[in-house]
Amino acid sequence: MRLVNHDGRLGLDLAGRFVDLELHSEKRFSSDPMSAFSDWDAIRTWAGGQSLGDAGPLVDPAKLGSPVPRPTQVFAIGLNYRDHAEEANLPIPETPMVFTKFPTCLVGPNAEVPLTSDRVDWEVEQVVVIGREAARVSAARAWDHVAGFTVGQDISDRRVQFAGKPPQFSLGKSATAFGPTGPALVSLDEFPHPDRLVLRCWVGGELMQESTTENLIFSVPELIEYISSYCVLLPGDLIFTGTPGGVGSVRNPRRYLVAGETIDSEIEGIGRLSNLCVTRD
Ligand code: ZN
């Protein structure tokens, strides 16, 4: 099942066609994208019975919003790929390094990104969407609490992030539009190997990052076990799982985003974000 937020309304992307959940279910389900998590199992069953014959208009990429626009909590993980820790010249973490992206930074897959300084960087990431509340869940049971995945960009203003010591991650990664997500929330059952997703990022058409989630230092189940040992994870919460090597701030020479460049971020089996960088007013 591919769930999308199309013009603010929850629906299915059925082979590129938009199936409005409220309209096509005769109001059994709500049009609010956040309502997907209170009816998750029923929606999945219903979605399995939909066919192209019922499909509505073409999905308009310009109308796509964040598939999970108002999560209660957004967790993110720093240094969760070995090559990224190495390129940053930092030791491999022994426990997950957890910070937050404040939810107001979330935007859709094709939103413009106003640059807050001359040191804004890209980070393509797999984003886990929680489907069932998770409190003190073991890694062995963790997948039962996952609704699915979406693509995320953990856009980062390195000036803010490294403005003092110790660095502060959350503010520099939460500016307006610093959390593009989408294009769809793809349910876990769609992935034959949910722990083996290929992710890539291009900036201005140049391939900058390419890896697979097999290279995560802390796997999705390990992250859920760790975070849920302290916090309660709620349906709709997001976990940005970390970025692989290839970010701009540790390149030689360093490279940052400039207005007019597009960041393309892709995960096979989910789709692509395409975000144009613009000058901030
Ligand atoms: Zn990140």
Query: Residue 267 Cα, ligand 1 centroid: separation in angstroms?
Result: 15
Query: Residue 33 Cα, ligand 1 centroid: separation in angstroms?
Result: 25
Query: Residue 98 Cα, ligand 1 centroid: separation in angstroms?
Result: 10
**What local confidence, expressed as pLDDT, does residue 56 receive?**
80
Query: Residue 101 Cα, ligand 1 centroid: separation in angstroms?
Result: 9
Query: Residue 76 Cα, ligand 1 centroid: separation in angstroms?
Result: 6
Give the percent of the chain with pLDDT over 70: 99
**What local confidence, expressed as pLDDT, does residue 54 receive?**
65
**By C-alpha distance, which of 54, 272, 268, 236 is closest to 132?**
236
| pLDDT tens digits, one per residue of 246-274 | 999 999 999 999 999 999 999 999 999 99
Query: Residue 152 Cα, ligand 1 centroid: separation in angstroms?
Result: 9
Query: Residue 48 Cα, ligand 1 centroid: separation in angstroms?
Result: 34
Query: Residue 147 Cα, ligand 1 centroid: separation in angstroms?
Result: 21
| pLDDT tens digits, one per residue of 19-58 | 999 999 999 999 999 999 998 999 999 999 888 776 689 9
Query: Residue 2 Cα, ligand 1 centroid: separation in angstroms?
Result: 24
Query: Residue 23 Cα, ligand 1 centroid: separation in angstroms?
Result: 37
Residue 155 and residue 191: Cα distance in Å, rounded? 26
* Structure letter (DSSP) for residue 85: H
**What local confidence, expressed as pLDDT, does residue 154 receive?**
98
Query: Residue 247 Cα, ligand 1 centroid: separation in angstroms?
Result: 10
**What local confidence, expressed as pLDDT, does residue 31 receive?**
97
- Compute the average pLDDT of residues 129-138: 98
Task: Provide CB contacts within 8 A for 135, sequence distance 6+.
Answer: 228, 232, 233
| pLDDT tens digits, one per residue of 70-100 | 999 999 999 999 999 888 888 999 999 999 9
> Residue 188 has which token pair?
């876990």
Helix (H, G, I), strand (E, B) or coil at 259: coil
Query: Residue 61 Cα, ligand 1 centroid: separation in angstroms?
Result: 25
pTM above 0.75, yes or no: yes
| pLDDT band with cut points at 50, 70 and 90 for residue 281 | confident
Query: Residue 78 Cα, ligand 1 centroid: separation in angstroms?
Result: 6
Residues 51, 54, 58: CA angle, nearest 5 degrees: 100
| pLDDT tens digits, one per residue of 161-189 | 999 999 999 999 999 999 999 999 999 99
- In order of their start, the domains of the chain are 2-65 (no CATH), 74-279 (3.90.850.10)
> Residue 205 has which token pair?
């058409």
Query: Residue 123 Cα, ligand 1 centroid: separation in angstroms?
Result: 6
Query: Residue 164 Cα, ligand 1 centroid: separation in angstroms?
Result: 19
Query: Residue 14 Cα, ligand 1 centroid: separation in angstroms?
Result: 30
Query: Residue 178 Cα, ligand 1 centroid: separation in angstroms?
Result: 11
Query: Residue 21 Cα, ligand 1 centroid: separation in angstroms?
Result: 32
Q: In DSSP terms, which residues pair with 262 in a beta bridge?
A: 276
Query: Residue 200 Cα, ligand 1 centroid: separation in angstroms?
Result: 14
Query: Residue 77 Cα, ligand 1 centroid: separation in angstroms?
Result: 6
Residue 48 and residue 135: Cα distance in Å, rounded? 29
